[in-house]
Amino acid sequence: MGIRWKITLIFLAVFLVTLLPVNFFLFNRVDKSLRQADQVELLAEAQKIAEQVRLEPFLMPLPPVGYQASLYWQDEATGFVELLFESPDFLRDQDTLAYTLLQRAEGAGVLTLELARSNARLQDELRTVTSYLVGANALAIVLAAVLIYVVAGIALRPIKQIITVAEKIEATRSFDKVPVPHARDEYATLARTINAMLGRLEQTLRTQTNFFASAAHELKTPLAVMNAELSVALAEAREPRLQELLSNQLAEVEKLNQTIQDFLLVSQLKTETLVVRTHSQSLPEALYGAVRRLKYLAAERQTKLKVTLLEEDVPHVSFDFDKTETVLANLIENAIRYSTPASEVVIELGRQASTVYVSITNQINAPLPPLHELRQEFMKSKALSSGLGMGLWICDRLSALQGHTLELADPPGQFKATLSLPLGDNT
SS3 track for 124-187: HHHHHHHHHHHHHHHHHHHHHHHHHHHHHHHHCHHHHHHHHHHHHCCCCCCCCCCCCCCCCCHH
The structural domains of the chain, ordered by start, are 3-154 (no CATH), 186-267 (1.10.287.130), 276-422 (3.30.565.10)
DSSP state of 368: P
Cα end-to-end span (Å), the chain: 53
- Rounded CA-CA distance 41/22 in Å is 29
Q: What is the pLDDT of residue 399?
A: 92
* Closest CA relative to residue 410, chosen from 368, 375, 359: 368
Cα torsion 61, 64, 70, 76: sign: negative
Asked whether the beta carbons of 286 and 326 are under 8 A apart, the reply is no
Distance in angstroms (rounded) separating the CA atoms of residues 62 and 50: 11
E-strand stretches of 15-94:
54-55, 58-59, 67-75, 81-86
The phi-psi region of residue 91 (left if phi > 0; otherwise alpha if psi is between -120 and 50; otherwise beta) is: left
What is the mean pLDDT, run by run of 10 residues, along the chain of 427 residues? 80 85 89 88 87 84 85 85 83 63 79 84 87 89 87 81 75 69 79 85 78 78 87 87 86 80 76 83 92 85 88 86 91 87 90 91 82 67 49 86 92 91 72
Among 361, 364, 301, 374, CA closest to 338: 364
Closest CA to 70 of 4, 129, 33, 116: 116
Looking at residue 385, its pLDDT comes to 44
Spatial separation of the C-alpha atoms in residues 310 and 189, rounded to whole Å: 62
pLDDT number for residue 384 = 47
Q: How far apart are CA 247 and CA 231, in angstroms?
A: 8
Query: Which residues in 136-158 are b (16+ Cβ under 10 Å) and which e?
Result: eeeeeeeebeeebbeebeeebeb
How confident is the model at residue 240, as a pLDDT? Answer: 87
**CA 362, CA 108: separation in Å to the nearest integer?**
125
Q: Where are the beta strands (DSSP E) in 236-354?
A: 279-281, 304-309, 317-319, 344-352
